[in-house]
Chain A
Amino acid sequence: MSVSGQVIEALLPAGGRARRGSWRQSHPPTLVAFAVLVVLLALIPLFFVVGYTVDMGWAQLREMVWRPRVGELLVNTTRLTVGCVLASAVIGTGAAWLVERTTLPGKRLWHVLLTAPLAVPAFVNSFGWVSITPKVEGFGGALLIVTLSYYPLVYLPVTASLRGLDPALEETAQSLGLGPWRAFARVVLPQLRPALLGGGLLVGLHLLAEFGALQMLRYPTFTTAIYDQYRSTFSGPAATALAGVLVICCVILLTVELRLRGKQRYARVGRGTARALRPRPLGRLTAPSLLAVLAVVVLAIGVPMGSLVHWLVVGTSTTFPVGDLLVTGGTSVGLAAAAALLTTVLALPVAWLAVRHRSAVTTGLERSTYFGNALPGIVVALALVTVSLKFFSPVYQTVWLLVAAYAIVSLPRAMVSVKAALVQAPPLLEDVAHSLGRGPLETFRRVTVPLIAPGLGVSAALVFLAVVTELTATLLLAPIGTRTLATQFWSNSSSVAYGAAAPYAALMVLISMPATLVLTHATSRRSSAS
């Protein structure tokens, strides 16, 4: 076989080889048609922003964007984003290093407690603080609270990286004469770069999309301003122009991350066995380290939970709305389950094409579904309101529109888990099943489904968790009369009825806490194993 033939064979995934042939064979028409529909749905918000901007014309756009108010929002959004990303990087990396690489006592407990804030939506955290003291309103308070909510997004990937790192690297550096600190700075830290950048990007995107927490702290950013604008003028041009600027901020963030990431290789080169590195003794620094970790945990989990319990006790002295909790809780769970099912079903054909029929076209389809990750929920909601009113008015004010918004926002999470699951179910196993006399359907049922079931479960769970605590899109899109835990909590806390709001927040946290812990545990274990 010639060299180019070898290259071609090496480039093709093992299963792709079997299905190599005509365009029709490599792109099954039904699957492609389905995937294109999914991608069109996912791209609605982007079409909306671009289309609207073009429609508005340059003069009007300038008038809308070139205002002192927009400048103010830009400054507010930027300083909060930069501050929070940096603070999260420091706290996340520091905590991860203490837990993974030192003799800190009680590591397992600290690990669970440090990831726990993921189960508490930022607006509940914010509620916990603001309902005790109004001093947290403004920039300082906002920075503190969003950092405490989002640092786990850095902590988790950095922990996984530290766990997966080849200890031989650090040992080699030390044998070359570097002290422990210099070895950490010159060898370990550069290896953490992808985790830090990825985590930082997630924090930034979450912040640009954050509505509830910042609204409650009266710290205006683009997202809160869009919401206010929408409430006063419905889907007027002002809200849309702001949404355009917000989308540009997201694009800048994505570009910066790509640039910083560069093209270096971080993969482990050798296949040396991963031995556990001897943890670094903290010695006299043990007590201060414990205090630092304790402070983070108390501020991030202790304060909001304490405050929630306080309001629960105070609030229930009047009436505990059991019936209403059940109804709104049921609605939340039902919506979340529907969204989880729908999103996973939507992700499956796109992921299948991308993994099993890899080509420029299928990869392009797959990548297009990730836009939802960068677009804030408020932009997605605004887009769906406008597009549905213009083209599909029967779905406006229905649960379907709300579930579609959930699907667009959470499609990337589902894609990642479904794709990972499919990659782990090698097509070779399907070939073996065929050679043992099993037809395509039986093979799918007896081999493929059992292999990808855990991934589908993780996908559904991730979507479920995101939707149970979703506030922004729900506020804009929920049909009149549909109340979820999040919206009920929001309407009570906006009218400073803290005692009445608390039960809804508590139930939300109760629903999401166990699953969050299980998922974060599974994710950090899996990424350290790979």
Chain B
Amino acid sequence: MTGLTLRGVSKSFGGTPVLHEIDLEAPARSFTAVLGPSGCGKTTMLRLIAGFLTPDSGTISFDDRVVWGGGRNVPAQKRRVGYVPQEGALFPHLDVAANIGFGLPRATRREGRTVEELLALVGLAPSLRTRMPHELSGGQQQRVALARALAPSPSVVLLDEPFASLDTGLRAGTGRAVAEALREAEATAVLVTHDQGEALSLADQVAVMRDGRLVQADSPRAIYETPADEGVAQFLGASIVVDVSLDAADRHTGRASSPLGPVTLAGANGNTGRARALVRPEQIRLCERGQGVPALVTEVSYYGHDAAVRLTVEGDHRLRVTARVLGLSVPSPGETVGLEVTGGVTVFDPSH
């Protein structure tokens, strides 16, 4: 299996830059999710990798085989890339078996065994092989599209928001099935999505894109807990950013004071002075009045398993924060509670 490398890839449309100097590395057999708001250029990046578009500059290589750059341009049909577009894009005039076998040599197609293996791989019953695409549900179409992409044993599989058109319930199940099939096929996969839950739960590596730049690439946990800047933090989930003041002693003890009380610093950079730190709503713990920092409960959104509690911190700042608490112990609006921050908080590097 093959790893994928992009070096300094840029692309503009009619003078408007869409991608700036993208560097991305996806190790062999890894699952990378490219996460970004719509219009950030992530689909363009996928189409560059697939060979449907050509970059203005940079290199794209599969392992050490350069497919674009240095005067080389391997056409899409010779790149051995599996491509799963939005809504599947199955060939409407072919049945499931013919769709899956489309990229296989004629002799293999006739055997028919591979089709059944592939159907099993994506978790579909063999009886579906004679169905036409319009007779399949959205989730089934996506799985057939994946099987079709995997059939010729591609070096890289690209998925362009494949679950965006599915219902919420179906989305998680299909996503897991697809990720499992990709792992079993030992494929190197790149998934493009604007859904942070999908990116965090399915991928080994999450790459965040913004305005045509790749801002940060790391493991899901690292990127959620130690985002590079406030923008990335906001994009990955609800976040509270508070001012903290750090002196050398704080650096040493690993603790600092904030409007939400004392916090433990996660990671370390050598800055001192005023800085901004990230607190996730699930890090705020509510306790009895009198303990921690007093705050007034203004509004509660109850979801059953948990609840979002909006609070106004008493004191000079009148800071408004949202806490995510378990559904078992939810305060009522108007109540005054105490709050404290658990776990480590990330301090943003002011140079970002």
Contact = CB atoms under 8 A, between A and B. Distances in A.
Interface of A: 1-2, 4-6, 8-9, 12, 17-18, 20-21, 426, 428-429, 431-439, 446-447, 450-451
Given A1-B39, A1-B40, A432 B85 contact: yes
A431 B16 CA distance: 24
22 contacts: A1-B17, A1-B18, A1-B39, A1-B212, A5-B13, A5-B18, A8-B16, A9-B13, A20-B13, A20-B14, A426-B89, A429-B89, A431-B50, A431-B52, A434-B51, A434-B77, A435-B52, A435-B79, A435-B82, A435-B149, A436-B77, A436-B149
Given A1-B39, A6-B39, A426-B89, A432 B83 contact: yes
Given A431-B83, A434-B51, A447 B76 contact: no
A428 B50 contact: no
Contacts of A432: 83, 85, 89, 91, 148
Interface string B172-212: 00000000000000000000000000000000000000011
List the 5 closest A-B pairs by CB distance, nearest first. A436-B103, A5-B16, A434-B76, A435-B83, A6-B39
Contacts of A2: 16-17, 211
Q: Which of B12, B77, B83, B152 has the most CB of A within 10 A?
A: B77
Contacts of B85: 428, 431-432
Interface string B69-87: 0000001111111110100
A18 B47 contact: yes
A4 B152 CA distance: 39
A443 to B, nearest CB: 8
B89 A8 contact: no
B352 interface: no
Given A1-B41, A2-B17, A436-B103, 14 more contacts: A1-B17, A1-B19, A1-B39, A1-B211, A5-B212, A9-B13, A18-B52, A21-B54, A431-B50, A432-B89, A434-B76, A435-B79, A436-B82, A437-B80
A437 B78 contact: yes
Interface string B140-159: 00000000110110100000
Given A17-B53, A438-B77, A429 B212 contact: no
Contacts of A1: 16-19, 39-41, 211-212
Contacts of A447: 91
Interface string B101-125: 0110000000000000000000000
Of A5, A12, A18, chain B has the most CB atoms within 10 Å of the CB of A5
Contacts of B41: 1
A56 B215 CA distance: 71
B17 A435 contact: no
Contacts of B89: 426, 428-429, 432
A437 B91 contact: no
Band of interface residues on B? 35 or more
B77 A439 contact: yes
B89 to A, nearest CB: 5
Contacts of B75: 434
Nearest to A21: B54
A436 B93 contact: no
A445 to B, nearest CB: 12
B16 A4 contact: yes
Nearest to A446: B102
Select the residue from A17, A437, A439 with max chain B CB neighbours within 10 A: A437
A186 B21 CA distance: 57
B290 interface: no
A438 B13 contact: no
Which of A432, A434, A447, A450 is the most central at the interface, judged by chain B CB atoms within 10 Å of its CB? A432
Contacts of A5: 12-13, 16-18, 39, 212
Contacts of B82: 435-436
B285 to A, nearest CB: 40
Contacts of A6: 39
A168 B82 CA distance: 43
A17, A429, A433, A436: which has the most chain B beta carbons within 10 Å?
A436
Most chain B CB within 10 A, of A1, A5, A433, A436, is at: A1
A20 B12 CA distance: 10
Contacts of B77: 434-439
B304 interface: no
A8 B12 CA distance: 10
B182 to A, nearest CB: 16
B231 interface: no
A8 B148 CA distance: 31
Contacts of B267: none
Most chain A beta-carbon contacts within 10 A, residue among B40, B44, B75, B76:
B76
B53 A18 contact: yes
A447 B85 CA distance: 16
A428 B89 CA distance: 7
Nearest to B98: A446
B37 to A, nearest CB: 10
A426 B54 CA distance: 20
Contacts of B79: 435
Given A1-B18, A1-B211, A5-B13, A436 B50 contact: no
Contacts of A439: 77
B16 A433 contact: no
Interface in B5-22: 12-14, 16-19
A438 B52 contact: no
B83 to A, nearest CB: 4
A429 B94 CA distance: 12
A467 B12 CA distance: 49
Nearest to A17: B53
Nearest to A25: B54
B76 A12 contact: no
B92 interface: yes
A436 B13 contact: no
A12 B13 contact: yes
Contacts of A428: 85, 89
